[in-house]
Structure 1
Amino acid sequence: MVTMENANKKEDRLPREAREILQQLARKWGDETDSSAWQMIPLKGAMTNEVYQIKWPTKTEDVSRKVLVRIYGEGVDVFFNRQDEIKTFEFISKHGQGPRLLGRFSTGRIEEFIRARTLSAEDLRDSEISSLIAFKMKEFHDLDIPGPKNASLWSRLRNWLIAAKRISLPEEAKAFRLDSMEEEISLLEKNLLWDRQSIGFCHNDLQYGNIMLDEETRSITIIDYEYASYNPIAFDIANHFCEMTADYHTDTPHVLDYTKYPGLEERKRFVQTYMSASGQQPRDAEVEQLVEDVEKYTLASHFVWGLWGIISEHVNDIDFDYIEYARQRFEQYWARKHVLLGKE
């Protein structure tokens, strides 16, 4: 058990203002045995923030109060506007789509601890769970978040490229061909902008660690909205498919296994479920078209997270081989570009 008078190294990560909020929350509940005593458990799998579960013993036997503390990663403001992310979190929270905001401090926030389990890498391949995700993704895309409803993908790619060039070592810039990347972004933009594409409010980082499942109600909750913005829905689905190749809870969390990328029938089933979530059955041609569009947008996903890896190597202290991760993403980009776009 951790006390404020006898802080351990983990609790040293909590700013004083965060500890004060935790004590205030505990006193308000009134059923904990000691408002200044809690257990602090680091949660694995986060690659942008440090995330901890905080829990207090209560006067009721075998029952505890829990919250989640998120400490923002240093230097990651290059990736997103933190104030915009907080506004998104608050909006989604008010509309019952995610955890409630319990408190904010200068370097992080305290959230409701959702009584559901975080998915595992294997869960993404479970057909029932995958269908639940498809339905929830459609619901998420239909959120009417205040602000401009233009796709952010292309400006994000260009801004991240600028940051990658500025921050990377000369040998990294050469190895990743950063000087020619602006042309690649323009090529992608030209080949992936279609009149038919649908824009929605996208999560943009729908890996298994950002999806929670209530085992009793079988309901899905999507969490962590740092990268969320309006984008082509095909990009969000493509990114989710790409995340099926990752397992961030192994001894080598940066290693991707592309043999686990979903096959054609699995992708069709997901898209069919996604499109039918609105209550109308899509035509086969509509499903096939979106499946094709999604596959092309995997190139944009590789590009986004390749640049993210290069930048993260220099701004993030989390134990993760970001450069090797970036290398794998760009390797897939170059390998699939000709197949999907018919271009060298």
Structure 2
Amino acid sequence: MKSYPIIENVTLSYSNITNEIYPLIKSIRSDWTSSNTRLVTFTEGLTNIILGIFDNRTPDDDSNALIIKIYGIQTELFIDRQAEINAMIKFHEHGVFSQRVLIQFNNGIIYEFASGKTCSRDDVREENISKLIAIKLAEIHNIPVDETEQPYIILIIRQFLKLLDKNSFDLTSILSDIDIIEERILPRLVQNPKHGKDLVLCHNDLLVKNIVYNDKNQTISFIDFEYTHLNYALFDIANHFVEYAGVENADFSIYPSYDEQKKWLKIYFQTRQLDQQIIDDDLCRLIEKFSALVNLTWGLWALVQAKVSPIDFDYVNYAKMRFDCYHKLRSLLFENA
């Protein structure tokens, strides 16, 4: 029986992918060729190049399809790729997701396809899909964690800051804020956080295009685990609520009402068997405070991407939108600070 992922000393180039991909996948799809498969480039990615390869002989069955992920240029500066692979292996081992990483090559991975469609901002608010997302996120958060690991939020913010040219961006006020957040605010938001309850394995990037809904099987899958690390469970929830904004023409004024949040949170905490959790306006306000941290984090991410990414996307404007959202919530985050 094969052990996965298979390690291959190969570097793929997107410009020559049609010639390079078939020798690489021969060990897992021996009879696939350019004449009986089709390559599809997915355009939603803002960091990496993502392609799907599908068998034309089974047009109604994509269960054997593969995803090819070619890492974005210089993303190793702020993404731990081995941690990403380890997270995917762990999710498979715990039965949370079925997709396995099959091949690891020099500048990417190949993994099994999650059948279904990526969600839109309308989909994630649909009652049935919303329920499935809450259950799936709770299942991730119930996976046992390493109690020596530190929360990811400050680690990744500090990493982004290291990569930014202080001469290009005026980050004076943000630097001051981050010091206060780390020293005074986070310890108050969740006092004496417990591993396995408050600090859990988080996806940390649950935007709508990273959620796949299978209407036929009534299942939800998540994709894109490059930011998956130990973090505050409420950060992961807040991140998902913020990402109701969508990806194309993101509208950050879209955010679930307290009533919507409470329905979602009831399902989530029931799945985690934390029935004693009080679900009220105070909890929703706490999640809003984490939403401020979410916007701060992804604003800094966008500035880093503006510096290193060749992808045609207006990262600077995206960063501005994120920082605007952060500043709108800043007074709430800093109350009693």
Q: TM-score, normalised by structure 1?
A: 0.83
Is residue 160–residue 308 contact of structure 1 (8 Å, CA) maintained in 2?
yes
Residue equivalent to 1:51:
50
C-alpha distance in 1 between matches for 2:61 and 2:152? 44
C-alpha distance in 2 between matches for 1:93 and 1:243? 25
Residue equivalent to 1:80:
79
| Identical counterparts, % of pairs | 28
Residue equivalent to 2:150:
150
Aligned pair partner of 1:324 in 294, 312, 317: 317
What one-letter code is carried by the residue in structure 2 that aligns with 1:23? K
CA 1:280/1:62 → structure 2, altered by over 3 Å: closer, same or farther?
Answer: closer
Q: TM-score, normalised by structure 2?
A: 0.85
Residue equivalent to 2:112:
112
What one-letter code is carried by the residue in structure 1 that aligns with 2:76? D
Is residue 118–residue 213 contact of structure 1 (8 Å, CA) maintained in 2?
yes
CA 1:62/1:119 → structure 2, altered by over 3 Å: closer, same or farther?
Answer: closer
What one-letter code is carried by the residue in structure 2 that aligns with 1:39? R
C-alpha distance in 2 between matches for 1:80 and 1:97? 23
Quote how far apart the aligned CAs of 1:72 are. Answer: 0.7
Aligned pair partner of 2:16 in 12, 16, 20: 12
Query: For 2:115, what is the secondary structure of its paired residue?
Result: coil
Is residue 208–residue 243 contact of structure 2 (8 Å, CA) maintained in 1?
yes
Size of the alignment, in residue pairs? 316
Moved more, 133-142 or 89-98: 89-98
Quote how far apart the aligned CAs of 1:96 are. Answer: 2.9
1:296-326 CA-partner distances (Å, limit 9, x unpaired): 1111101100000000011111121110000
Residue equivalent to 1:281:
275
| 1:1-344 superposed matches below 5 A | 12-13=16-17, 16=20, 18-27=21-30, 30=31, 34=33, 37-58=36-57, 65-98=64-97, 99-146=99-146, 148-165=148-165, 170=167, 172-174=168-170, 178-189=171-182, 190-193=184-187, 194-195=190-191, 197=193, 198-246=198-246, 248=247, 253=248, 255-279=249-273, 281-282=275-276, 285-342=278-335
C-alpha distance in 1 between matches for 2:26 and 2:44? 27
Is residue 306–residue 327 contact of structure 1 (8 Å, CA) maintained in 2?
yes
Is residue 211–residue 222 contact of structure 1 (8 Å, CA) maintained in 2?
yes
Moved more, 286-295 or 264-273: 286-295
Give RMSD over aligned pairs. 2.5
Quote how far apart the aligned CAs of 1:334 are. Answer: 1.3
CA 1:165/1:281 → structure 2, altered by over 3 Å: closer, same or farther?
Answer: same
CA 1:106/1:79 → structure 2, altered by over 3 Å: closer, same or farther?
Answer: same
Quote how far apart the aligned CAs of 1:95 are. Answer: 2.9
What one-letter code is carried by the residue in structure 1 that aligns with 2:315? Y
Is residue 66–residue 113 contact of structure 1 (8 Å, CA) maintained in 2?
yes
Query: For 1:234, what is the secondary structure of its paired residue?
Result: helix
CA 1:81/1:129 → structure 2, altered by over 3 Å: closer, same or farther?
Answer: same
Query: For 1:230, what is the secondary structure of its paired residue?
Result: strand
C-alpha distance in 2 between matches for 1:259 and 1:336? 12
Is residue 124–residue 130 contact of structure 1 (8 Å, CA) maintained in 2?
yes
CA 1:37/1:145 → structure 2, altered by over 3 Å: closer, same or farther?
Answer: farther
CA 1:15/1:95 → structure 2, altered by over 3 Å: closer, same or farther?
Answer: farther
The gaps in structure 1 that reach 5 residues or longer are 1-8
CA 1:282/1:218 → structure 2, altered by over 3 Å: closer, same or farther?
Answer: farther
What one-letter code is carried by the residue in structure 1 that aligns with 2:244? M
C-alpha distance in 2 between matches for 1:114 and 1:103? 16
1:170-202 CA-partner distances (Å, limit 9, x unpaired): 3x413xxx1232211122232232315411111
Is residue 52–residue 70 contact of structure 1 (8 Å, CA) maintained in 2?
yes
C-alpha distance in 2 between matches for 1:334 and 1:205? 21
CA 1:298/1:61 → structure 2, altered by over 3 Å: closer, same or farther?
Answer: closer
What one-letter code is carried by the residue in structure 2 that aligns with 1:213? Y
The gaps in structure 2 that reach 5 residues or longer are 1-12
C-alpha distance in 2 between matches for 1:261 and 1:279? 26
C-alpha distance in 2 between matches for 1:203 and 1:128? 21
Query: For 2:169, what is the secondary structure of its paired residue?
Result: helix
